Structure 1
Amino acid sequence: MSWDLFLSLLLACVLVYLGVQLVRFVRADGDLTLMWAEWQGRRPEWELSNMVVWVTGASSGIGEELVYQLSKLGASLVLSSRKANELERVKNKCLEISNLKEKDILVLPLDLTDRSSHEAATKTVLQKFGQIDILVNNGGRSQRSLFVETNLDVYKEIMEINFLGTISLTKCVLPHMIERKQGKIVTVSSVMGITAAPLASGYSASKHALHGFFNSLRSELTTYPEITVMIICPGPVQSNIVQNAFTEEVSKKIENPGKQDYKMATSRCVRLMLVSMANDLKEAWIAEQPYLSFCYIGQYAPTWALLLIDKLGRRRIDNFKSGLDADSSYFRPLKKKSN
């Protein structure tokens, strides 16, 4: 084989490889580290079997789907949210779809804003199971309102639920993990904790706060290498998060949340969460395009990312005021006006 032919073949192989990786990136619904973990299957989710997992926000959305998939893996579960009746429904379904028994699931109603109750709740879990292997901080609320129209009490409530409630429960559970010298603290943040968007200033602020706190906590726990601190950042996912979002007033609800069917399936999001948890990924982005690209651009070219967000932000606000789901502005191209 001549040298020129060898170089041509090598170049062709390199181009094919780069082309394959480009297609993978375009079709990816998670960051590159997460996708690599899923493709390689280095540590399957079955490693989460027989663990005790405490999930907040377990009565709907991502939290509900997470406990269903964990139940099929054989994990013992602690289900928490403010809605006791819904937790019982979720528990019963877990028993139907898995081999778990009544003794394997604890329904533990919990209000994240009632921080004085968190220590007693933690003791209840330890009395029941003797250990907490994984704490999934999933409880929280979103927001759909413009800052200039929003009462400051809304921002106070968002921080109480999403940030202070989360770190309060973590503070109660962490000493147990330190004593055992093992455990996983998994916090469900959002791509809004990496980038930003109009109509979600308080929500985005609370998620940015979670990133700052748990990244600092991870560094503080370097003397306990068996304790993993993880941040999961989903993009738009099919759930009730919009229906339950804060608006201009604390007591006011979204009148028309819009359709959610174009968003990522909750089951897919949770599948990637389990891959992240099994592989001890420090941070995982779970989002379809173009949200995933926004995250990358925000990391490497923040000014460009902010310009894109500003450009699309007006469409997001217009959609919201028209009664559409605000997130649809990123996924659906502008339609030509009909005459």
Structure 2
Amino acid sequence: MDWVLLLLLLALCALLLHGLRLFLRADADLTLLWAEWRGRRPEQELTGMVVWVTGASSGIGEELAYQLSKQGASLVLSARRQHELERVKSRCLENGNVKGKDILVLPLDLTDRSSHEVATKTVLQEFGRIDILVNNGGRSQRSLVMDANMDVFKELIELNYLGTVSLTKCVLPHMIERKQGKIVTVNSFAGIVSVPLSSGYCASKHALRGFFHSLRIELVEYPGIVVSNICPGPVQSQVVSNALGEEVTKALGNGGDQSYKMATSRCVRLMLITMANDLTEVWIAEQPFLLVAYLWQYMPTWAWWITSKLGKKRIENFKSGVDADSSYFKFFKKKHD
């Protein structure tokens, strides 16, 4: 009997060690990783869909356009810079499974809420439907509360929050009429964890998370309409270099060290899996960022203590001109292709 108990304990220890290894190598929450392993494939679920992507001129939005075009989705590409959208469209046509008629370049300023209704009608006139709205447009922030002009906070709320809410409200009646559709919002770990130097950005992302959680409940009578909240951690993109500083007119301009961040292609692949499997909220990040999110979810007291320590170092880095994030994660850093 003692030998049986010993063998069971050894087996349990082996399982726990294996589980710990998997968690330390994880780059998304367990629900999303399970969907990647056993769930529906984007290649089957997203083909032929009409997908409207805001913030499509760079970063995650640009990569979304490339991967969706390979799935054979019809695309609406929106951002403020039309020439950049045309560049993205050209590459989609070169490398994707789409033709010119499958891509609509639609310049859009999220802060100009009066234009959103017309833009929505333009999409419906072009394709007849909107299957997926991807709210990806927005900007980040790198400045201390006491140094930032109030216009910075106003701009972040207008762009990240109110602009996204406005466009969603324009598209939503169409989805309700059809009783189907997907509203996918690219939030951030900053929508879960508050960090220094990004107070206005965090506020806008927390607001988005609360809004779309409430919207999901209000749409309970429309099970065919899926509201998904995607929270990426650090991803290789221009989000830091485009971040607002102390003034609205001055972007940070320096993207810092990108080597420790997740490859954009991997982040977007996980986003497509989220869409294909109708997941409501997902976390996408490599360690140790993913661990921090779990701590905030399940051990907030510990999480607050750790975040305070790391936040102090983040501020010191910023003031000394060092990349605000990467220096205290040197142990975890790795190069991405």
TM-score category of the 2 structures, normalised to the smaller one: over 0.9
Q: Which residue of 1 aligns with 2:208?
A: 210
Which residue of the other structure, out of 303, 322, 325, is the alignment partner of 2:323? 325
- Separation (CA, whole Å) in 2 of partners of 1:255 and 1:243: 4
Q: Which residue of 2 aligns with 1:269?
A: 267
Q: Which residue of 2 aligns with 1:29?
A: 27
Shift of 1:332: 2.1
Consecutive unaligned residues of structure 2, counting only runs of 5 or more, are 333-337
Q: Which residue of 2 aligns with 1:136?
A: 134
- Normalised by the length of structure 2, the TM-score is 0.96
- Separation (CA, whole Å) in 2 of partners of 1:142 and 1:44: 32
Which residue of the other structure, out of 96, 99, 118, is the alignment partner of 1:98? 96
Question: Superposed, which structure 2 residues align to 1:65-104 within 5 Å?
Answer: 65-104=63-102
Tell me whether 84-93 or 274-283 shows the greater mean CA deviation.
274-283
Q: Which residue of 1 aligns with 2:293?
A: 295
- Separation (CA, whole Å) in 2 of partners of 1:227 and 1:183: 5
Q: Is the 8 A contact 1:186 1:232 kept in 2?
A: yes
- Separation (CA, whole Å) in 1 of partners of 2:259 and 2:51: 29
Q: Which residue of 2 aligns with 1:224?
A: 222
Tell me whether 9-18 or 93-102 shows the greater mean CA deviation.
9-18
Runs of 4+ in structure 1 displaced over 6 angstroms? none
Shift of 1:320: 1.4
Cα distance 1:258–1:101, how it changes in 2: closer, same or farther (>3 A)? same
Shift of 1:14: 2.3
Question: Superposed, which structure 2 residues align to 1:272-283 within 5 Å?
Answer: 272-283=270-281
Q: Which residue of 2 aligns with 1:120?
A: 118
Q: Which residue of 2 aligns with 1:187?
A: 185
Classify the secondary structure of the residue corresponding to 2:166. Answer: helix
Partner amino acid, structure 2, of 1:229: V
Percent identity of equivalent pairs: 69
String of CA shifts for 1:143-186, please: whole Å, max 9, x gaps.
00000111111000000000000000000000000000100000
Classify the secondary structure of the residue corresponding to 1:229. Answer: strand
Which residue of the other structure, out of 34, 37, 42, is the alignment partner of 1:45? 42
Q: Is the 8 A contact 1:112 1:166 kept in 2?
A: yes
- Separation (CA, whole Å) in 1 of partners of 2:245 and 2:54: 23
Q: Is the 8 A contact 1:290 1:330 kept in 2?
A: no
- Separation (CA, whole Å) in 2 of partners of 1:105 and 1:160: 28
Shift of 1:257: 2.9
Q: Is the 8 A contact 2:183 2:228 kept in 1?
A: yes
Classify the secondary structure of the residue corresponding to 2:56. Answer: coil
Partner amino acid, structure 2, of 1:167: V
Shift of 1:333: 5.4
Q: Is the 8 A contact 2:229 2:280 kept in 1?
A: yes
Consecutive unaligned residues of structure 1, counting only runs of 5 or more, are 335-339
Which residue of the other structure, out of 105, 108, 111, is the alignment partner of 2:109? 111
Q: Is the 8 A contact 2:257 2:326 kept in 1?
A: no
Partner amino acid, structure 2, of 1:102: G
Q: Is the 8 A contact 2:242 2:253 kept in 1?
A: no
- Separation (CA, whole Å) in 1 of partners of 2:47 and 2:137: 23
Q: Which residue of 2 aligns with 1:337?
A: none
Shift of 1:253: 2.0
Tell me whether 319-328 or 175-184 shows the greater mean CA deviation.
319-328
Shift of 1:255: 4.3
- Separation (CA, whole Å) in 2 of partners of 1:228 and 1:242: 30
- Separation (CA, whole Å) in 2 of partners of 1:178 and 1:199: 39
Cα distance 1:215–1:330, how it changes in 2: closer, same or farther (>3 A)? farther
Partner amino acid, structure 1, of 2:87: R
Partner amino acid, structure 1, of 2:24: V
Q: Is the 8 A contact 1:257 1:324 kept in 2?
A: no
- Separation (CA, whole Å) in 1 of partners of 2:137 and 2:303: 28
Q: Does residue 169 of the first structure (1) align with residue 174 of the second (2)?
A: no
- Separation (CA, whole Å) in 1 of partners of 2:194 and 2:21: 27
Q: Which residue of 1 aligns with 2:243?
A: 245
Shift of 1:37: 1.1
- Separation (CA, whole Å) in 2 of partners of 1:279 and 1:331: 32
Q: Is the 8 A contact 1:258 1:323 kept in 2?
A: no
Which residue of the other structure, out of 290, 298, 308, is the alignment partner of 1:310? 308
Which residue of the other structure, out of 141, 148, 151, is the alignment partner of 1:150? 148
- Separation (CA, whole Å) in 1 of partners of 2:4 and 2:48: 53
Cα distance 1:178–1:330, how it changes in 2: closer, same or farther (>3 A)? farther
